[in-house]
Structure 1
Amino acid sequence: MMSDNTFNGTGFASLLPAGYGWAESTDRTLPEVMHSIREHLGMDIAFIAELSDGKRIFREVDAKDDACPIRAGNSDPQEETYCQRIVDGRLPELIPNVSAVPEAASLPITGMLGIGSYMGVPIRLADGSVYGTFCCFSHEPDTTLNKRDLGMMRVFADIAARQIERDLGARRQQRESEDRIRSMLKSDELSIVYQPIVDLRQHRIAGFEALSRFAAVPARTPDLWFNEASQIGLGVPLEEKAIRAALLGFDRLPENVYVSINASPELILEDRLHHLLSGTPLERIVLEITEHVSIDRYQEIGEVTRKLRERGLRVAVDDAGAGYASFRHILKLSPDLIKLDISLTRNIDTDAPRRALASALIRFAKETGSKVIAEGVKTPAELGVLQDLGVDMAQGFLLGKPLPLMESLMTHLH
């Protein structure tokens, strides 16, 4: 109980038990704070309830013992509750002795739950709408409950409203993301462009990297589309759609030209590649593993790709030099191809540290039997330095922009 404390409107510091101040409360979850308030007030049960579609739905419940008759997720008719009557003003927010308030005493829920004293305050969102209520009750009357106790309840209700609003916003964004990606999966708004990869020793096009493009709104880069899909558990289906689209034009390519496709560890581990690449000559496929963080399941990825590599598939590690993770990928996956990230190739002709790191990776590749592809080559000077360092292949705007298949073939192979 709080009869000895004062409420000054500045937070929980003067309201909660010793050692539980405002700074600490902001770092703790709503259930933890609710538990502390319930114990401090000496109440038996505290809960946060949502009022929705004619029901009171218990979202959080904290009880003195396990015999509590309500659980999170339970619901009852909204009209038969204290919560609804408090929100519309038929019951006061503070009821120290329920038996002294006829409307409260006559409610069936009073006898069912054994309510002796009750406090409840509305939880209002930023737009003024009522989400629900924050309530506490005891089985015995408690005439020491007062307006200062109610003040603490209101402070917590305001904090809960902000957290609930964030949660509702996150769920809304989740639904919007799911709708957007599912619409993308059903539409023809994903297309593929092909960027040439040039063999610098034979002076010919060795392959094309298949790159996704999205015509849907919002207009944004492909990596953001794939990241969003991955966050909501639809990354693999979107990758599958992109790979299928990339392979549609495979038969139009010369037999000495390969196609490089991108795949995440998640897609590889689901063992979908065998199905996706069925009927495709694997010796003309390069699999670029796209991942910018360390991978936990290298052994499993290696096992899946080993079976495909035995049939001719080549594996490339993308973005080498962009971070620690790419070096781990190289060491753990023993790729056939190592792709130098644009952060290394850009301005390599004028930047000694870039040249030194690129040179080290090229030497490593030679010793391990890998070939090196330089990405993002933009100027003749950059290309010249990369050739001097011993890079095997290169791609970038200097050598050819990504274009739709037939346009790319006409531009780069004729």
Structure 2
Amino acid sequence: MNGDLHVALPDGAQPLRFEAIENDSIQRILKATRTHLGAEIAFVGRYIDGDRRELMYVDTELDLPMGPGFSEPREESFCWHILEGRLPELIRDAADHEFAKALPITEMLPVGCHLNVPLRLSNGEVFGSFCCLSRTADRSVSERDMDVLRAFGKLAGEMIETSLVRDEEANRLDRKICDVIAEGGISTYQQPIHDLSSLRVVGVESLSRFEDADRRSPEKWFEEAKSVGRGLELELAAIKSALDADSLAGSEAYISVNASPETVMSGEIARLLRHYSGRKVVIELTEHEQVSDFAALRDALAEIRQHARIAVDDVGAGYAGLRYLVDLAPDLLKLDMSLTREIHTDLARQAMAKAIVHFAKAIGADVIAEGIENAQELEMLKEIGVSYGQGYYFSKPIPAGDIPAYFAVHGHNAVAAS
């Protein structure tokens, strides 16, 4: 914990605020300390901007003119002079100390009894102070009371340091994600989607790849972006990257791009698609959390349908349940790979797939099987009535620039190889 906590972010990026600390827990610590010592005020302060002291947390029943966020020159506070050794940590009566009497706060509040300990981080750095005080003197306060203050202060300091570490990591992630977005650090790969009867290519699913793809999954990037409030921005950047990389213009094939319900409901996808008119686009709805507002999602999808078809991912697994499918009425259902794998040997998987195919026909949708890895799975899926599929049996995801050559070999009405 040092100056590295103040992370310089790219232009336009807003730093995360120091609000990750468990406010309630620290407030409870202050209240317990104040109650135990019989004090009127307890607070945690921190040193900021080199020469100021700011109140972070305050517990009191008094109507004070200052509260959390109040800051003042550190030289005007008891805390700073206690840290510098000009005043003792235990002051039973401020009137006993000429230096204390000269401080403006002593008369203004006024200050009588004052107990204070520095808040130090594990590396010895002073973060701020932990303090209890009353407006009147109290000569009964003892060193044992100071020990109580030190114990509670140590606990509060440990919680603050844990939150500082968390904030430092969040700011690092935020800067990294902002850099990727600003510098176009998203590569687009595409996995071909085949008609299972003719084996011709009918489309591609676009997948995002990052510079550390050999060490971490793309999902990790999107999870981290969401954790620091950049989920929408990163998803939209990935969608734009996929649409910009589309080399299928002029063919009968479509390009499918992934989007979460949150991004769909933002309205940004519909606005983005207006710039790609004439493209055959599918918005593939991915979901790893329960959707809380189906009405809002339906309304947002209705606007997107003016520009693209809708697919639902992970059907048969996760949160893509019956209500999801009934309410959203997708054009395409993507059979989750957990059902595709070894489907030729598993009667339960076959029964589930047949039910999904039957449901799809009833609502006028087509089924795409994900994760096809061998000919036996392919034949069973065809027998069940699945229309389309993708997986390593056909091709792993490949760079978008290599798709025209793939279509030249496998596609009907294919684009010319480049």
The answer to whether the 8 Å contact 2:203/2:254 transfers is: yes
Match of 2:82 in 1: 86
Query: CA deviation digits over 1:116-171, x for unaligned, max 9?
Result: 11101111111111111110111111111112211111111111111101211122
Which residues in structure 2 correspond to 1:245-256 (within 5 Å)? 245-250=241-246, 252-256=248-252
Distance 2:271 2:32 in 1: 55
Distance 1:312 1:329 in 2: 21
**CA shift in 2, pair 1:112/1:126, >3 Å:** same
Query: CA deviation digits over 1:156-209, x for unaligned, max 9?
Result: 111111110121112212211221111111113211111101111332111111
Distance 1:324 1:209 in 2: 21
Distance 2:107 2:33 in 1: 24
Deviates more, 1:281-290 or 1:398-407: 281-290
Runs of 5+ unmatched residues, structure 2: 1-21, 410-418
Match of 2:334 in 1: 339
**CA shift in 2, pair 1:80/1:156, >3 Å:** same
**CA shift in 2, pair 1:278/1:69, >3 Å:** closer
Which residues in structure 2 correspond to 1:379-394 (within 5 Å)? 379-394=374-389
1:168 equivalenced with 2:167 (yes/no): no
Percent of paired sites with the same residue: 37
Query: CA deviation digits over 1:320-342, x for unaligned, max 9?
Result: 12223444421221111111112
Distance 1:393 1:56 in 2: 65
Distance 1:82 1:40 in 2: 22
Query: CA deviation digits over 1:333-355, x for unaligned, max 9?
Result: 11111111122212223333333
Give TM-score scaled by structure 1 length.
0.87
Q: How many residue pairs align between the two structures? A: 387
**CA shift in 2, pair 1:412/1:398, >3 Å:** farther
Match of 1:270 in 2: 266
**CA shift in 2, pair 1:151/1:38, >3 Å:** same
Query: CA deviation digits over 1:63-92, x for unaligned, max 9?
Result: 1222x1321111111123211122233222
Distance 1:300 1:87 in 2: 55
Q: Which amino acid aligns with 2:35?
A: E
The answer to whether the 8 Å contact 1:198/1:206 transfers is: yes
1:201 equivalenced with 2:193 (yes/no): no
The answer to whether the 8 Å contact 2:315/2:335 transfers is: yes
| Cα-Cα RMSD | 2.2
Distance 2:322 2:296 in 1: 18
Deviates more, 1:116-125 or 1:77-86: 77-86
Match of 1:364 in 2: 359
The answer to whether the 8 Å contact 2:247/2:404 transfers is: no
1:396 equivalenced with 2:391 (yes/no): yes
Match of 1:62 in 2: 59
Q: Which amino acid aligns with 2:208?
A: S
1:49 equivalenced with 2:28 (yes/no): no
Question: What's the CA shift for 1:270?
Answer: 2.2
Q: Which amino acid aligns with 2:150?
A: R
Distance 2:319 2:303 in 1: 27
Deviates more, 1:36-45 or 1:152-161: 36-45
Q: Which amino acid aligns with 2:57?
A: E
- Of 315, 323, 330, the residue aligned with 2:318 is 323
1:32 equivalenced with 2:28 (yes/no): yes
The answer to whether the 8 Å contact 2:54/2:70 transfers is: yes
Deviates more, 1:141-150 or 1:260-269: 260-269
Give TM-score scaled by structure 2 length.
0.86
The answer to whether the 8 Å contact 1:318/1:340 transfers is: yes
Q: Runs of 4+ in structure 1 displaced over 6 angstroms?
A: none
Distance 2:89 2:189 in 1: 64
Query: CA deviation digits over 1:278-306, x for unaligned, max 9?
Result: 25356721110122112122222222322
Match of 1:142 in 2: 138
Question: What's the CA shift for 1:405?
Answer: 2.5
Query: CA deviation digits over 1:205-261, x for unaligned, max 9?
Result: 111111111125994211111222222232222222222222224354452111111
Distance 1:84 1:119 in 2: 13
Deviates more, 1:397-406 or 1:341-350: 341-350
Distance 1:34 1:376 in 2: 56
Distance 2:26 2:55 in 1: 14
The answer to whether the 8 Å contact 1:58/1:71 transfers is: yes
Distance 2:273 2:307 in 1: 12
